[in-house]
């Protein structure tokens, strides 16, 4: 990344419906502005904020039902299929798969297909054999993924989540620009304005620097 480009770190989780529907609008920012998107996993621990299924309150059940209805409405606008999950998933393997795909050169395909297959009930993101097959279909090395997931990948995943939380991240999708957090797909417009403000400030500084150099 050169000094004229901005870097935005985007935290996501394949089991989050809101992360899914925010994927394409977030990607569009990189086509619209000189920004580099750095995708990172933030694997949600569902029971921490919505209770475990067997102890979930009526209030939290209403929140869950609304969230899926709302996300499905947003998905329909993009032509995406979003079926309600069959159970509560952990999702760590899929997050580690993201890191593996980034190192192996097939992140874009992995990112799209993992979301698509999970939300059409075509992929169990918590099953190692299913995830190995998924990686292999995308051209990755299934055995290398297994070793990565059981070793360095698991450690890196934990480190990324811990660092994100130390920064203030608590949910997905969350974008971070110069230390400023933007949580939720409905904050993309706010992120866009922040990008434009920083680009304008950078252009003004460059002009001032040019005038100073010429004098």
- Return mean pLDDT, the chain: 91
CA 158 from centroid of its chain's CA atoms: 15
1 within domain boundaries: no
Residue 1: band (very low, low, confident or very high) from pLDDT cuts 50, 70, 90: very low
Domain of 59 in residue numbering reads as 6-214
Is 47 among the domain residues? yes
pLDDT band at 112 (very low <50, low <70, confident <90, very high): very high
Residue 160 pLDDT more than 90? yes
Whether the predicted pLDDT of 120 surpasses 70: yes
Percent of the chain at pLDDT > 90 equals 76
Predicted confidence band of residue 54 (pLDDT cuts 50, 70, 90): low
Q: Indicate if the pLDDT at residue 128 is higher than 90.
A: yes
Q: Give the predicted TM-score (pTM) of the model.
A: 0.89
Average the pLDDT over 206-215 and give the result.
70
Residue 63 resides in a domain: yes
In a domain, 185, yes or no: yes
CATH of the domain at 16: 3.40.30.10
What whole-number distance in Å separates Cα of residue 69 and Cα of residue 53? 18
Q: Determine, yes or no, domain membership for 206.
A: yes
The tens digit of pLDDT for each residue in 168-206 reads 999 999 999 999 999 999 999 999 999 999 999 988 877
3-state SS of the chain is: CCCCCEEEEEEECCCCHHHHHHHHHHHHHHHHCCEEEEEEECCCCHHHHHCCHHHCCHHHHHHHHHHHHHHHHHHHHHCCCCCCCCCCCCCHHHHHHHHHHHHHCCHHHHHHHHHHHHHCCCCCCCCHHHHHHHHHHCCCCHHHHHHHHHCHHHHHHHHHHHHHHHHCCCCCCEEEECCEEEECHHHHHHHHHHHHHHHHHHHHHHHHHHHHHHC
Q: 59 is written with which tokens?
A: 């209030």
Is position 76 within any domain? yes
Question: Both tokens of residue 138?
Answer: 């995308």
Domain total in the chain: 1
pLDDT tier, 14 (very low <50, low <70, confident <90, very high otherwise): very high
């Amino acid at each position: 990344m050169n000094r004229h480009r901005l870097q935005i770190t985007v935290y996501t989780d394949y089991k989050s419906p809101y992360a899914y529907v925010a994927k394409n609008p977030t990607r569009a920012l990189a086509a619209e502005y000189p920004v580099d998107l750095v995708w990172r996993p933030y694997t949600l621990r569902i029971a921490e904020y919505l209770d475990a299924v067997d102890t979930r309150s009526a209030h939290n059940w209403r929140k869950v039902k609304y969230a899926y209805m709302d996300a499905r409405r947003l998905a329909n606008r993009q032509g995406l299929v979003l079926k309600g999950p069959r159970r509560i998933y952990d999702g760590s393997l899929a997050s580690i798969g993201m890191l593996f795909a980034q190192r192996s050169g097939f992140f874009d395909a992995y990112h799209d297909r993992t979301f698509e297959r999970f939300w059409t009930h075509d992929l169990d993101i918590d099953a190692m054999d299913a995830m190995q097959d998924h990686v292999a279909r995308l051209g990755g090395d299934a055995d290398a993924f297994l070793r990565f997931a059981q070793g360095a990948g698991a450690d890196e995943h934990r480190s990324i989540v811990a660092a994100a939380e130390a920064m203030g991240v608590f949910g997905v999708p969350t974008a971070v620009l110069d230390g400023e957090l933007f949580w939720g797909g409905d904050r993309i417009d706010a992120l866009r304005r922040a990008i434009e403000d920083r680009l304008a400030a950078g252009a003004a500084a460059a002009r001032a620097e040019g005038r100073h150099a010429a004098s």
